[in-house]
Amino acid sequence: MDVLLDPWGAVQVDDYSKLFQEFGISSFDEILPRMDRPHAYMKRKIIFGHRDYWPVLRAMKEGTPFAVMSGFMPSGRAHLGHMMVMNEIIWHQRQGGDAYVAIADMEAHAVRGVSWQRCRELGISEYILSLIALGFQPGGHIYFQSQNFRMRDLAFELACQANFSEMSAIYGFSGETNIAHMVSVAVQSADILHPQLEEHGGPKPVVIPVGSDQDAHIRLTRDLAYRMRRFLVEERDGYVSVRGKAASPELMEAAAEALKGAGIGRIKRYSEHIDLYGGANLGEVEELIRRVEVEGGEFGFLPPASLYHRFMTGLSGGKMSSSKPESYIALSEDPKDAARKVMRAITGGKQSLAEQKRDGGEPERCSVYELLLFHLSDDEGELEEIYRECRSGDRTCGRCKAEAAEKVRAFLEEHQRAREDARTRLSDYGIKP
C-alpha cells in the first residue's frame, strides 16, 4: 500500500504526490511563487500540499484578519515532529495571524485512556513550555479542550450535522468504538472552527498546519462548515444566485433587504432564492450574505484551509512516533542522550566505507540528513554541500552523524534554557502551573 492514513494509528506514505489524486490535496508548488517571505519548510518542500490556502495568503498580503490553529494530544513526550507544527503556528502568528493552540486532553482521555491530571501535566510540561520557548507570543490562545466550554458548545452544534454512518466511513469506527472517541472528533472540528466565532472576530480564513494523517479531520470539518451555512451563493450563467439552503423566512427577508440596500445588481426575489443580474460580483455578494447570517445569529463559517508537511523519518527507521522512544528526540530529552541517539541512527549510507565512496549515499532516505534539513541548519549552502558530498561518496555517515549530534546537543541545551524561562511566564498565556 502506497498511502495509509490513520489519525490515531498507522501512517504510510511512500509517494506524497498520490495524496493529490487520492485525497484532493493541492500541491504547494502553486503557492510558493506568490509567497513574499516563505518559511524554510516551504522553500525546502517539507510543506508539500495544501487545501484552500489562497484566502490565507491573500489576508497576509492585504493585512486583513486571519488565524492559524492546531493542537497536540498530550499522550506522550513532545518531539521534533511536534516541533514542526509549533514552528508553523509561530510563523503564521508572526505574519499577523491570530494563533490558537488546543491541548487535546479530551481526545487523549477518550482515545488513549490518559487521566485528566496526566493530560494537564503533559500538556504543560511537554507541549506548552516548548511552544512558548520556540517563540509563541502572548495574545495567542492556548487552551485545554476540557476547559473551553464555548468550543464544546460548538462541538454539540456540529455533532448535530454528522451521523454514525458518516463517521464510520471516514474513520472506520465500529460497534467496539467508544462514544467518547466519536465525540472527540466533533470536538476537533469545533477546535478548527471556533476561531471564527463572533467573540473571536467572526468568520475569517483559518489555516490548520498538520501532517497528512490528520486530513480526515480537515475534510470532515470543511464539510461541516458548509452544512452550517444557511445560504449558498453561486455564480451562474450571467447572474449570481443566493439560495436559501437552510435559511428561515426571516433570514431570507434579511438577505433580500441587505442586497437591496447595498445596490448590488438587479434583484429578482423568489421564495427560496434571490437572483442578481447586472454584473453582481460573486465575492461581494458572498461576503454580504455571510454578514447577514452572522447578524441573524448563525455562524457563516468559511471552510478551513490546511497545510501538509512531510513526516520525519524516525531515527530507527519508519515514522517518528511517540510510542517508539528510540525513533524520536524529545524536546525535554537530555541533550547528551539525544546526541547518542543520533550516533546510532539509521542513515542512507552504504554498508561499507568502500561502497559509500564508490556509489555514494542516499540523503533523501537518511534520518540524519532530515534532522539537518528539517531543524538543524539555517544555511541553504551548507545543506546543498552535504547533499552533494553524500551523493558523490565524499562524505561519510560517521562525519555526518557527529556534526548532527553536536547540533542536536547545542539546540536542546538552548531550547531547554528557554523552556525554563517559559515556565516563569505561563501566566502571560492564561495558564496556571
Helices (H), 63-103: 80-94
CATH code (residue 248)? 3.30.70
**Which cell numbers hold the place of 220?**
470532515
Torsion of CA 324, 326, 328, 334, to 10 degrees: 120
Number of domains observed in the structure of the chain: 3
The answer to whether 205 and 305 have CB atoms below 8 angstroms apart is: yes
Q: Are 347 and 200 part of one and the same domain?
A: no
Q: What is the pLDDT of residue 5?
A: 42
Q: CA angle at residue 189 from 374 to 97, to 5 degrees?
A: 55
User: Quick check: is 314 in a domain?
Assistant: no
User: Quick check: is 271 in a domain?
Assistant: yes
Structural domain harbouring 198: 3-228+302-309
Q: Are 123 and 161 part of one and the same domain?
A: yes
pTM comes to: 0.92
Q: What is the CB neighbour count within 10 angstroms for residue 383?
A: 18
CATH code (residue 21)? 3.40.50.620
| Rounded-to-integer distance, Cα 4 and Cα 217, Å | 15
Q: What's phi and psi for 302, nearest 5 deg?
A: -85, 145
What distance lies between CA 259 and its chain's CA centroid? 36
Q: Are 194 and 119 part of one and the same domain?
A: yes
User: Quick check: is 119 in a domain?
Assistant: yes
Q: Are 22 and 108 part of one and the same domain?
A: yes
Q: Are 265 and 344 part of one and the same domain?
A: no
| Rounded-to-integer distance, Cα 46 and Cα 309, Å | 5
Nearest CA to 211 among 375, 80, 60, 59?
A: 80
Q: Are 83 and 172 part of one and the same domain?
A: yes
| Rounded-to-integer distance, Cα 66 and Cα 60, Å | 8
Averaged over successive runs of 10 residues, the pLDDT of the chain (433 residues) comes to 44 56 83 95 95 97 98 95 96 98 96 96 98 98 98 97 87 84 93 98 97 87 96 94 94 95 90 91 94 96 96 80 83 97 87 77 89 94 93 89 96 98 97 87
Q: Are 199 and 261 part of one and the same domain?
A: no
Q: Are 88 and 126 part of one and the same domain?
A: yes
Q: In 3-state terms, the chain is what percent helix, strand and coil (to 5)?
A: 55, 15, 30
User: Quick check: is 318 in a domain?
Assistant: no
Q: What is the pLDDT of residue 9?
A: 47
User: Quick check: is 105 in a domain?
Assistant: yes
Q: What is the pLDDT of residue 361?
A: 82
